Amino acid sequence: MAEAIFGEVLTAMVTPFNDDGSLNLDGARKLASYLVDHGSDGLVVCGTTGESPVLSHDEKLALFEAVTGEVGGRAKVVAGTGTYNTAESIELTKEAGGLGVDGCLLVTPYYSKPPQNALLAHFSVIADATTVPLMLYDIPGRTGMRIERPTMVELAGHPNIVAAKDAVGNALETAKLRCDLDAAGHHDFALYSGDDLMLMPHLGGGVVGVVSVCSHLIGPQLKQIISAYNDGKNDEAMRIYLECLPLMNTIMGLTTSPIPIKAAAAMIGLDVGGLRLPLVAATEDQSRTIRSALEDLGLL
């Protein structure tokens, strides 16, 4: 079975902003430290939850440097360096590697919807340009294009491509991918769940961990779910999962992420600030729903 090379619970970290919308690097350092102290084995910086589309190249590098400086050595730091621009992705990946990150996350190019042979070329040329371990991010709901299983299996043969974040939303497809990877001899290629709500089904499909949004709030519980499952205590894993499910459903399903998690994080006292347009803060009704879900789980 593949190892959890980046840890079992990785938080897809929100990006803290100041009141004027500027980047809050001190807040990012404090948040990173908090998350590592509360169940996270690793952090994904400048991913979807980190509002990567509205961060400049220099802001991303500043975040990579700040978070690595704060928790490097205590937790894995995975830098979100994938964009819909291959040349920019190469440059950002190389620069992130120079800052000492443990890995880079490469999302499927969005909007342009490249076909499978183009995806193969895109990811391969980035991997050729770096020695940093890479995690591919398959999230067709946001990008409009899936990394099909044969493409993923071929990419898994590249020595620098070591893992995938699976946000396809189909546990059977995850299991089929694990089967195809093993059949091709890629037993060490690690699959991570990219969807909190799918954690238990994904564990059954062969993932080694989760890249989580809700771990801002329930990192220890997610760690307990994975540990119990790995120890063969499936009833215990399911009990904790079901306890957390209503909150996860609220955070991941109420409106576009990361709007709910930023509201929830602020409610539990984390200094994360607001969101940058085109995203806006949770409405009053949404905030009441989020607060109720936090209270039901005893987090407020």
Q: Which residues are part of the catalytic machinery?
A: 137, 165
Given the structure tokens 């299991």, which residue do they identify? Answer: 175
SS3 readout for 246-292: HHHHHHHHCCCCCHHHHHHHHHCCCCCCCCCCCCCCCCHHHHHHHHH
CA distance 166 to 162: 13
Determine the Cα–Cα distance for residues 153 and 173; give it in Å rounded to an integer. 13
Class of residue 181 by CB neighbours under 10 A (exposed 0-12, middle 13-18, buried 19+): buried
Could you give the count of Cα atoms lying within 13 Å of 11 in the half-sphere of its Cβ? Answer: 32
Please give the Cα distance from 138 to 119 (Å, whole number).
11
The phi-psi region of residue 192 (left if phi > 0; otherwise alpha if psi is between -120 and 50; otherwise beta) is beta
Structure tokens at 265: 């994080």
The one-letter amino acid code at 237 reads A
Does residue 53 have a cis peptide bond before it, meaning omega lies within 30 degrees of 0? no
The dihedral formed by the CA atoms of 284, 214, 89 and 30, expressed in degrees to the nearest 10: 90
